[in-house]
Amino acid sequence: MDIRRLDLNLLLLLDGLFRTQNLSALSRELGMSQPMASTGLRKLRDFFDDPLFLSTGRGMRPTPFAESIAEAVRTVLSTVDQQILRKPRFVPEESDRVFTVTTSDIGVLIFIPPILQRIRTMAPGASLRCLPTSHEDLEDALESGEIDLAIGYFPDLVGPNIVTEDLFDHPFTSIVRKDHPTIGDTLSLEQFLAADHIVVNQQGRSQEIFERRVRELKLQRRVVLHLPHFMSVPQLIATSDMISTVPFSLGAWYANAGLKLLPPPVSIPLIELKQHWHRRMDNEPAVRWLQTIVAEELRDRDPALAMSADYAKSRAKAAAPTAGRAATTTASRRR
């Protein structure tokens, strides 16, 4: 027998006859005319080369061959219904899934705590894994499912199958030690240019926004230290007279470690932070659930700004004397 010659819809008719043993009643149950049901039964008989059901005084009785395949037919229909036609479900309280995200070191400090708290509350058996991934490999990792979400600043992640959702825009801050000998509660451009600077060199990352702005303004700083990562910057600043300009979240996190956060003396575009996933995961219930958690926790809610209400006042104070200065702004794109 060649399965390509079998209309699989006729298995519903075959299974129904095992139950009802009445073609007229079954045709009404299936919403078809009796001639259509009779035609379907004839096709089944031709395919299997067996009468399958014979009319008797007690209804249509299955032949021995029909009885031999009855259970297999039910199994096939059940499998199709439960594993193919039924949409997959995600039940958070029953899940032991390991969700995998990629984000920056700063993102681990700022983004992950509220997301993890929601996961632990709603899906106590699930867990979260942060996996560092290079920009070059990230799209492939999202496509393969190795990474569920990328959260943060990923300007190169723009493939046609990448879906992006805006979260919030994030500012920069300059940081110095609290008892800096020449820099007080405000930071002038002259003080900024006269200071010794630490610069973080991360191609394609948020710091490139600030470095690009410095080049646009043709500012000449005295850079005394280049670093590949942010995490050592706060300690180096707290124990020296150097200055660094970093994403505000880093300064806010370490503000209690002897740091002073000051608005930079030049306008800098905001960092547009987003979550990204691959289009093939659009209807994957677990990943959709995680996307919703991230959006609810982070959309238009910058966790770092809540760490320092004083910073907003400081920015307003510093901006007042420079109202006439040309500024660069970045429009926030909303999905």
- For domain 172-262, the CATH superfamily is Periplasmic binding protein-like II (3.40.190.10)
Find, among 268, 277, 246, 279, the residue nearest to 329 by Cα.
268
Q: How far apart are CA 205 and CA 263, in angstroms?
A: 20
Contact by Cβ (8 Å): 99, 70: no
Count of Cβ atoms closer than 10 Å to residue 70 Cβ: 16
Architecture (CATH level 2) of domain 3-85: Orthogonal Bundle (1.10)
Q: What is the pTM of this model?
A: 0.72
Instruction: Please report the pLDDT score of residue 283 as a whole number.
Output: 87
Helix (H) or strand (E) holding 121: helix 112-122
Find, among 144, 152, 94, 112, the residue nearest to 284 by Cα.
144
Fold of 92-168+276-301: D-Maltodextrin-Binding Protein; domain 2 (3.40.190)
What is the block-wise mean pLDDT of the chain (335 residues), using blocks of 10 residues?
Answer: 82 92 90 92 94 88 94 91 80 95 91 94 96 90 95 91 96 95 95 96 81 95 92 93 94 87 95 96 93 96 73 54 37 38
The answer to whether the 3-85 and 172-262 domains have the same CATH topology is no
Domain regions of the chain by residue span: 3-85, 92-168+276-301, 172-262
Count of Cβ atoms closer than 10 Å to residue 4 Cβ: 5
Instruction: Please report the pLDDT score of residue 203 as a whole number.
Output: 61
What three-state secondary structure class fits 43?
helix
| Chain position carrying tokens 């410095």 | 214
Instruction: Please report the pLDDT score of residue 322 as a whole number.
Output: 43
Q: What are the distances in angstroms from CA 286 to CA 137, 147, 290?
A: 23, 13, 6
Instruction: Please report the pLDDT score of residue 11 as a whole number.
Output: 93
